[in-house]
A and B are shown apart, each in its own frame.
Chain A
Amino acid sequence: MKLPLWFHRLGSPPTFYAFAARLQPWCYGLAAALAVYGLYAGLVLAPPDYQQGDSFRIIYVHVPAAWMSMAVFVFMAVAAFVALVWRMKLAETLVLTAAPTGAAFTLITLVTGSIWGRPMWGTWWDWDPRLTSELVLFFLYLGVIALAQAFEDRRAGRRAACLLALVGVVNVPVVHFAVTWWNSLHQGPTVRMFGESSIHPSMLWPLLAMAVASKLYFAGSLFARTRVALLEQEAGSAWVRRELEARGHV
């Protein structure tokens, strides 16, 4: 029964703070290394697409960001479930510290997709199921962030934000399956978890590297934000005072 005890301890702010501080540089460092490889292999080594030419290279930022825009919301929904059912305060904090990075990835998805759509589809935007549901996802992120600050009682606001994260997650499968369920301007999936991907390995490997890099970046960013949030929540306690006085430590 060592694991549950370890997990239980991780819920305590100073323990999580130290745990996050140790992992954070590794997450950022590995993400940077993978991104260097992914960008070099994707922008330089991979050949141009036979239909889309070099414009396809936007895939290396657009697709990992799109995957993360959905993955972060699912993460938030799971954390919100834990926060609402077991009243775990750290889970509540994680919902709110994950949201800005999720919103950032969603914004990147929308903007780079729009930039890609202009030369390929001849339009910056279309009210197509995939594009529209991704825009709704962006507003859901903003809603979670705004709701947490909309209540005078801080705890009530955070619980409302958790509730929205939990309910809003129904939009994630809509985004994911939009290209399958409806006739969409957006192209169908080319990378499949099961079965053969319709993309050449020389284009696929850099994409997978960028996808793992984006996940590690999210973890690093989540740790960084959660640490600051814990310092704020626990302001006045001895460990926070010690931490804030330690100079040159980020």
Chain B
Amino acid sequence: MSEFLAMGGYGAYVWSAYAVTAVVLAWDASAPLRQRRALRRRQPRRPPPTPNNPTTTP
């Protein structure tokens, strides 16, 4: 295992390259989720449906 992590002496280079890739892709993949959450927060709340008015669609 430690031999695998050492990567024949290039461990620091190989793993930092993979770490950078992981971080950048994690940022990219999470961006739309963050935008969606922000969009939902901006959406005005509507009152919950009541028996008299089961649908609150205008």
Contacts and interface: CB of A to CB of B under 8 A. Distances in A.
Real binding pair? yes
Chain B interface helix/strand/loop/mixed = helix
Given A54-B7, A104-B27, A228 B17 contact: no
Nearest to A61: B21
Given A61-B21, A231-B39, A116 B28 contact: no
B21 A57 contact: no
B52 to A, nearest CB: 20
A158 interface: no
Contact of A61 (B8, B18, B32, B57): B18
A225 B14 contact: no
Contacts of A235: 39
A235 B38 CA distance: 13
Given A54-B7, A57-B7, A217 B32 contact: no
Interface string B23-34: 011011101110
Interface in B1-58: 4, 7-10, 13-14, 16-18, 20-21, 24-25, 27-29, 31-33, 35-36, 39-40, 43, 46, 57
Contacts of A217: 25
Interface in A210-250: 217, 221, 224-225, 227-228, 231-232, 235, 238, 241, 244-245, 250
A101, A112, A244, most chain B CB atoms within 10 A:
A112
B13 A55 contact: yes
A58 B28 contact: no
A231 B36 contact: yes
A244 B39 contact: yes
A48, A62, A104, A107, most chain B CB atoms within 10 A:
A104
B45 to A, nearest CB: 10
A176 B8 CA distance: 31
A96 to B, nearest CB: 13
A228 B25 contact: no
A111 B18 CA distance: 10
Interface string A92-113: 0000000011001001100110
A45 B1 CA distance: 14
A87 interface: no
A54 B10 contact: yes
A225 B18 CA distance: 24
25 contacts: A53-B8, A53-B10, A54-B9, A55-B13, A55-B14, A62-B17, A101-B28, A104-B27, A107-B24, A111-B17, A112-B17, A112-B21, A115-B17, A116-B13, A116-B17, A221-B28, A225-B31, A227-B32, A228-B32, A228-B36, A228-B39, A232-B35, A241-B43, A244-B40, A250-B33
Given A55-B13, A227-B32, A245-B46, 7 more contacts: A48-B8, A54-B10, A58-B18, A107-B24, A108-B25, A112-B20, A112-B21
